[in-house]
Amino acid sequence: MRVIHLSAEGVSIVIATTDDGMPEIVHWGAAVTSAESDLLAFVEAEARTGMEGDSDVPYRASVLPEHSRGWFGAPGLSAHRGGSGWAPRFALRSLTLDGDEAGAGVTSAGAGRVCAELHDAHAEIELALEIDLTPQGLVRTRARVRNTAGAPEAAPLEIQSLAVALPIPTSAQEVLDFTGRWGHERIPQRHPVVRGDHSRVSRRGRTGLDATLVQAVGAPGFSASTGEVWIGHVGFSGNHEHTIERTDGRLHFRGGESLLPGEIRLAPGEEYSGPWVFGSYGCGLDGAAARFHSYLRERSRSSRRPRPVTMNVWEAVYFDHDHRVLVDLAARAAELGVERYVLDDGWFRGRRDDRAGLGDWTPDPLAWPDGLRPLADEVRALGMEFGLWVEPEMINEDSDLARTHPEWILRAGPDLPPRYRFQQVLDLTHPGAFDHILGVLDGLIVDIGVSYLKWDHNRDLIAAGHPASGAPAVHEQTLAVYRLIDELRRRHPDLEIESCASGGGRVDLGILERTDRIHPSDSHDPHDRFGILRWTGLLVPPEMMGSHVASAVSSVTGRTHDLQFRCAVAFLGHFGIEWDIRDLGAADRRILGEWIARYRRHRDLIATGRTVGAGELDAMSPQVRGVVALDQAEALFTIITPATSPDTVARVRFRGLAPDRRYRVSVSGSDSFGPPWQVPAWLRQSPELGGDGDGDGDGEREGDGPVIAGAVLARVGLEFPTFHPDRAAVVHLAAVAAP
């Protein structure tokens, strides 16, 4: 028996295997501090011998469960070679920890990577498993399959599915996952764990607007701060599956790529690697989410410098590009304190609407007779970076590129797939198409001086086959997109990229490890956006979520909200504007400028603090999103009133604060929370949340505002009015020195 115990940041994972068996995770959850001898005794104590040690021997599901050993759930590997070899039984060749062979008994370490090499000599398949515990306490695992058939004429090994499994205690009896649509992603749904499979499969060729993003399983009634929670996520941007599987005495999160028929057919010597599947454990949703945030912050370029306040011009001008108007917008944005200016769709050849031009990535000669360089230079002269919208994976049939290279459009047969958004999909697996798009993007970045790409993906992939053969192409297309982004970032180390896909249609760790932020939704309606930001934030830290203030009347929902509410909801994110600010009155200009200054002052806290939330279990209570400094010296909380409530006030707790410290309160937000006599004194008496562009000005006035003990704020809370719907307050709590 070999046992490996890894432990980091309050999480343990215990992996056991016999000399010839597949690794099994016997514990994943709270850190285990037992001695190695006790761990070995625990593993041996649960052994079941079956009938006289020879028959009916129970099978405990491994990381890649095997039907051939008696597993009747979904097998981890489903494959065959011409109809045979479909029930492989793998034998262990080696088991290593960080490259060193693990011996008999227990091997203990902190963070580390376990690799198991296995094979089935009869089926002629090699299997490699990786189980990684990161320094953040995040588990990730993946499998790789290799066809080792010796005869060149052997039938290819067809992989139908490859999905790894992470065990969860059966005491976790409730599931939280998500659905959605365009304009309203991340709608939560909760239900009990049931026997059998609860699968969420995306076959859209991208993560999907209705994709679940994560599956969380926990103790009944788990919340942001309470109950043990296990979160699973598949880090892949193409077709994929998230599944909760409950069988006899076992509960698993299972994840992997969802393969199309015949998509992976391995010739002798070829191999297929599944995507990384992630698991995060914590006390409450926020505890589990914090591990994803730390993991991304360690890898993302967005952690290198403060997040620049961004203006995107889409909802200001749409396709109507006029140099003078856009320069005017840039000048007004710079006056407000905007630091990045992004020119959206409509700048390239023939692009007067969404029916033509995709693929022809040169500035339109009618709208931009001198190209985009003059505008970019004017933007930079105003002290802002210049960004550009692109959609390089798509093509309009009405484009010069489509007319020149019709063989570069994905299709499963002779006819093109149905149009969506008047688009088709460019075959980036074709070397010519890949090189063309890489060259075009590289040229734009160099010639114009682009420092930021808003990278869009506005349609699902339907009948996406290689044009020459009709074979499915989603898997290879996804990897080609990764290669394209990786190469651009290699050539341009300071280039930042936003992942947008009709809003939040491509949000996963596969794309997030290559980009610097995501566009959570095409809807900027703050009423819906608060929940979209909250639930997307289970995976994505706030500074990587674009969070823009748009017009008073939402272009998507038609709802109207005041400027204070819109700014307050957008504040805890990567703050920006998507609005025609030419018509701003003096009062709104002052308000927007104040919020931009506040963001610039507090953005380091937003980008480094630990996120907290509350109120998700009660639709009639205030909802809370917060960020608390790691040293608990300060915190920001956005609180919004419910749509309706039978109460005029509700108590809100400010979680994450140090109970033995005292905090000075400042507040900004909606102008009215209801009748003045119903608004608590702390809201009326607190000074305005301060802000200045560089973070070195007066800010909140020293000595002003109530000072309240952290223990009271975190454990008791303060009453918050719920009289009016769609009101928001941003509360800043700053620790004061002990008297």
Q: Which residues carry out catalysis?
A: 456, 522
Token digits of residue 671: 């102008």
Q: Which residue has the tokens 């562009």?
A: 693
Cα–Cα distance for residue pair 396/394, rounded to 1 Å: 7
Token digits of residue 588: 């709104």
Residue length of the chain: 739
The answer to whether 263 touches 173, Cβ cutoff 8 Å, is: no
Cα–Cα distance for residue pair 328/335, rounded to 1 Å: 11
Sign of the Cα pseudo-torsion (425, 427, 429, 434, in order): negative
Instruction: Strand 623-628: give its sheet, edge to edge.
Output: 610-614, 623-628, 634-640, 728-736, 662-669, 707-709
Q: Which residue has the tokens 């949340």?
A: 689
- DSSP secondary structure letters along 241-272: EEEEEEETTEEEEEEEE-PPTTSEEEPTT-EE
- DSSP secondary structure letters along 636-648: EEEEE--S--S-S
Cα–Cα distance for residue pair 51/58, rounded to 1 Å: 10
| CA distances for 372 relative to 363, 365, 375, 439, 532, angstroms | 7, 10, 5, 17, 34
Cα–Cα distance for residue pair 651/656, rounded to 1 Å: 16
Cα–Cα distance for residue pair 596/547, rounded to 1 Å: 12
| Amino acid present at 380 | R
Reduced 3-state DSSP string for 532-543: HHHHHCCCCCHH
| Amino acid present at 291 | R
Residue 404 phi/psi, 5-degree rounding, is: -80, -35
What's the farthest any 2 CA atoms get from each other in the chain? 87
Contacts with 88 (C-beta within 8 Å, 6 or more apart), sequence order: 66, 68, 77, 79, 120, 123, 125, 127
Strand 385-390, strand 452-455: pairing: parallel
The answer to whether 187 touches 179, Cβ cutoff 8 Å, is: yes
The DSSP bridge partners found for residue 116 are 95, 129
| Amino acid present at 523 | S
- Backbone torsion region of residue 688, taken as left when φ is above 0, otherwise alpha when ψ lies between -120 and 50, otherwise beta: beta
Angle, helices 431-444 vs 474-491, to 10°: value is 30
Secondary structure (3-state) at 141: strand
The DSSP bridge partners found for residue 546 are 574
| Amino acid present at 502 | S
Q: Which residue has the tokens 């998500």?
A: 178
The DSSP bridge partners found for residue 51 are 55
Token digits of residue 168: 């969860």
Contacts with 316 (C-beta within 8 Å, 6 or more apart), sequence order: 329, 578, 579, 580, 581, 582
